[in-house]
Amino acid sequence: MFNKILIANRGEIACRIIRTCRQLGIATVAIYSEADANAQHVLLADEAWLLGPAPARESYLRAGRIIEIAQQSGAQAIHPGYGFLSENEDFAAAVATAGLVFIGPPASAIAAMGSKSAAKRLMEQAQVPLVPGYHGLDQDPATLQKAADSIGYPVLIKASAGGGGKGMKVVESSANFASQLASAKREAQASFGDDQVLVEKYLTQPRHIEIQVFADSHGNCVYLFERDCSVQRRHQKVLEEAPAPGLSPQQREMMGNAAVNAAKAIGYVGAGTVEFIFDTLSGQFYFMEMNTRLQVEHPVTEAITGQDLVEWQLRVAAGEVLPLAQAQMAINGHAIEVRIYAEDPDKDFLPAIGHIRQLRLPPQTAQVRIDSGIVAGDEISPYYDPMIAKLIVHGANRQQALQRMAQALAQYRIVGVTTNLDFLARLVAHPAFAAFDVDTRFISRFRDDLLPAATTPPASAIAALLLDGLLQQSASAEQRRLASSEPNSPWHSSSGWRLNEPYHQTFHLSSGVERHSLNVGFAASGYQSEWSGQPLLFNGQRLPNGELRLQLNGRQFNAEIISLGNEHHVYVDGCHYPMACYDPVLDGLENAETNHNLTAPMPGTVVAVLVQAGDTVEAGQPLMVLEAMKMEHSVVAAAKGTVAEILYAVGERVAEGVELLRLEDVA
């Protein structure tokens, strides 16, 4: 076994690898960019070396420098994690040439599966079922268009060298093919340095099922069952579970054997994932691609098998035989993983950046696991993937796992950056998901349920926020009383008593675009107000842990408020309600003028300007394309108008909220 390894990655996967290395007594070497100088993987490793500036091409993609650091630090092997250089055959070959061990498959296996087109041709020769498509080398747009027209729409354009949904576009008609092809090629070039694509028939009700395979250098290869990764947004996974619901033992065995045969066909060694499209209408499965690395979702496989896959990787890379044979493995229970991202689901899941001001995790147990490289105080930057953490739960069956996931999500607290936590909570609670009426278009099918329009907060949330403010005022008044030279003066009373009439206090609250002014009066049993035409009679106290215990209209319950200035996050009944207090005199937002100016919905880089000054545009017409975190977003016209001025050119970086171009009303 190795004495020291270098981890050529960052974030949660680097922390995950460090954890197993510590258990095995292996020293770890971390690498980091200037933006990651204080990151958790840097602090957890035994030593850490600076690579360069924040952009990945100047740091985490510097293959030569990473190998130099490994040699200088005395590391014997390099673990690439996932992403960055993990599936780069040139890097794997260079590591071996330098006399180091690459903790992954041989470069030849990466090369064989690195091109989706070449992999499809290889699998076709091995008689693995394939989705009808074009996997050729001729990348002329006319050739690709002809192939798509022949296959029949809808079709899927995929980056041949890609993964993670980057460079992937669904095309519904021939008229849209050219523009979607251009966009897919731009994303592919930006993400992988290769704009080659393939075109396939897009199945309308598919599931995404993948098989975890493992092979050693002694000719042994096994599969560690399957994961269902059908719940996706922008072709990127949001939730994964193992085993795949509804899969028969015969289907599981057929897919597992096909995956093992695929691995053996390329002389595979180490951890790999063979991904299949499963047609829910026919029950047939088709080879999609093979990821020649550890997957983000590997913890659900670990949960149902009781195995540490990183330890398996290390042992296989050190030349050992696989720890278990196929007949020794069995499925235990059910596991679900959700990916917690800094993103805004209400804005088509746009990546978000910001400073994590508050972070509290649900209690971790044998059934609840959190993999993360983020702590309170960290920044989510525009340079890397915006995943904050992976939350993994295990249960005796799927129903129990769902219940544990719902409870853990309700206990999660992240304040300071927009996240998908509320969306995930709605997802796991959805009746169709509980019944596993799931395919890869689940989110779009139930979009109205999963991404509902903003609603007025319930009385429980309003009462909690009012009580929190009143208790804070009472505590401040008590501090002033004790500090006063006349602590028993009636002027220090906070009971709300007045000589001739009841005392009322007005609170001004906002929730989304809604604004509310509430008069709160002091009653004999506490406080009284009105919300949505219904009376609020409430009282309560602050508990030692900071939460509130409320009595509202005869009901008792707990609530929690996390406040950042006038911004308040109310957690009650398992839901999160962001609200704010405002001063109607000082607040000028109500009088803001509307216009047709267009602003950046996220920080990013301008990759295309689709109009010129003087052009007349229609509502919904794309005007500019931004790229952030290697994903593209089109900025469209909200109304018909004339382009008056374009303020940014291709290649320029823009901050969130800046004005990109100006439109004038059509005369």
Of 16, 293, 369, 426, which is the active-site residue? 293
Angstrom distance (rounded) from CA 294 to CA 17 = 11
Going by C-alpha positions, the residue among 560, 550, 568, 575 that lies closest to residue 410 is 575
The amino acid at residue 370 is I
460: nearest Cα among 368, 391, 549, 387: 549
Q: What is the crossing angle of helices 309-317 and 11-24, to 10°?
A: 70
CA 184 to each of CA 147, 256, 372, 431, 441: distance values in angstroms, whole numbers, following the listed order: 16, 31, 30, 34, 20
User: For residue 453, what is the DSSP state?
Assistant: P
Coil, helix or strand at residue 472: helix
CA distance 21 to 14: 11
Angle, helices 141-151/177-192, rounded to nearest 10 degrees: 120
Q: Which amino acid is located at 580 in the chain?
A: A
Alpha-carbon distance of 24 to 314, in angstroms, equals: 10
Q: Any idea which residue has 């996931």 for tokens?
A: 405
Q: How far apart are CA 294 and CA 272, in angstroms?
A: 6
Bridge partners (DSSP) of residue 157 are: 169, 199
Q: Are 291 and 208 in contact (CB under 8 A)?
A: no
Single-letter amino acid code for the residue at 140:
D
DSSP string, 398-463: HHHHHHHHHHHHHH-EEESS--SHHHHHHHHH-HHHHTT---TTHHHHTHHHHSPPP-PPPHHHHH
Count the neighbouring beta carbons within 10 Å of the beta carbon of residue 573.
Answer: 13
H helix runs in 266-397, sequence order: 298-305, 309-317
Task: Assess contact for 259 and 225: CB atoms under 8 A.
Answer: no
Q: Rounded to whole angstroms, how far apart are CA atoms 173 and 413?
A: 43
Instruction: State the amino acid at position 106 in one-letter form.
Output: P
Contact, 300 vs 227, CB < 8 A? yes
Taking alpha carbons only, the member of 235, 232, 212, 377 closest to residue 299 is 212
Distances (CA, A) of 586 to 548, 582, 590, 593: 30, 8, 10, 17
Query: Phi and psi dihedrals of 483, rounded to 5?
Result: -85, -10
Instruction: Clarify whether 22 is annotated catalytic.
Output: no
Positions marked active-site: 293
